[in-house]
Amino acid sequence: MSAILALLLLVSQAQETPSILEREPAGWTDLLADAGKELKGWTRGPIPPGGKLNERSQWSLDPQTGTLLCDGTGGHEWLRYDKELGDFIYHIEWRFAPAEKKTGYNSGIYVRNSADAKVWHQIQTGSGSGGFLFGQTLDDGKLTSFNLSKQVHGHHVKPAGEWNVFEITCKGRDVTVWANGTITNTWNDCPVPSGFLGVEAEGYRIEFRTLKIKPL
C-alpha cells in the first residue's frame, strides 16, 4: 500500500463517527416493540395522496427478530408511525434484498410529513447511493419542492444485501442525515416544525430494523 493511499485511508477512518444510539444508549423508544403482527400504531397511506391502497398489505413484522419487511408487491405507499413528533433523533437500519436483473433500487425514510403525505421530507435510500434529503415542504403556506442530492457528502450507502445504518436528527429548522458513520446531508432551513415519520414502499423488497427515536 502506498503512503498516499494509507494516509487517505486513515483520514477516511478518522472522519467516521459511531451512531448516537451507540454513544448514548439511554432514552430511546423502540417503535416496533409493541406493534405486533397487526402493526399497531402504524398506518398505511397511498403515494401520491388520494390514491387507492391494495387490500393486501405488503408490510409484515417478524416479532422474533423485530424486522419489518416490505415485500415490494403492493405498489407505491408509505407506512406511517401514528404519533406526531417535533424534535428527535430517528435511528433506522435497512437493506434491500438483491434481485436478479434489477437495478435502481429505490425506497425512502420520512420525517416531519403531514398525515396524508402531501407534505413530505424523504431521506433517499437507494443502493450504493442516497443519504440525502428531498421532498415537498410547506413554506409560508405554499407547497415547495426541494432536493439536496447535489449537496450529499460522498457515497456511503451500501449495496443491496448489506445492512445500512441511518440516523436523522430533527432539531428546530435543522435536519441532519448520518449514514454509516458519516454525516452525508444537512438542511438548515426546514420550515415544518413537526410531523410524522415513516418508511416507503416503491416496488422493491426491503427490510427495516432497529427503528428507534430519541426525543430532543
**In this predicted model, which residue has the larger pLDDT, 179 or 100?**
179
Distances in Å between the Cα of 42 and the Cα atoms of 37, 122, 134, 186 are 11, 18, 23, 27
Instruction: Find all residues with CB under 8 Å of 134, minimum gap 6, and list them.
Output: 122, 124, 145, 146, 147, 148, 149
Task: Supply the pLDDT for residue 182.
Answer: 96
Q: What is the pLDDT of residues 31-70, one digit of tens each?
A: 999 999 999 999 999 999 999 999 999 999 998 889 999 9
Domains and CATH numbers, the chain: 20-215 (2.60.120.560)
How many helices (H) and strands (E) would you count in the chain? 2, 15
Task: Supply the pLDDT for residue 15.
Answer: 67
Kindly report whether the peptide bond that precedes residue 48 is cis, defined as omega within 30 degrees of 0. Answer: yes
Distance, CA of 19 to CA of 163 (rounded, Å): 14
**In this predicted model, which residue has the larger pLDDT, 4 or 110?**
110
Q: What is the pLDDT of residues 103-122, one digit of tens each?
A: 788 999 999 999 999 999 99
Q: What is the pLDDT of residues 192-214, one digit of tens each?
A: 999 999 999 999 999 999 999 99
Give one DSSP letter per residue of 3-69, joined into a string. HHHHHHHHHHHHH----HHHH--SS-EETTTTTTTTTTTEEEEESSTT----SS--EEEETTTTEEE
Q: pTM here? A: 0.90
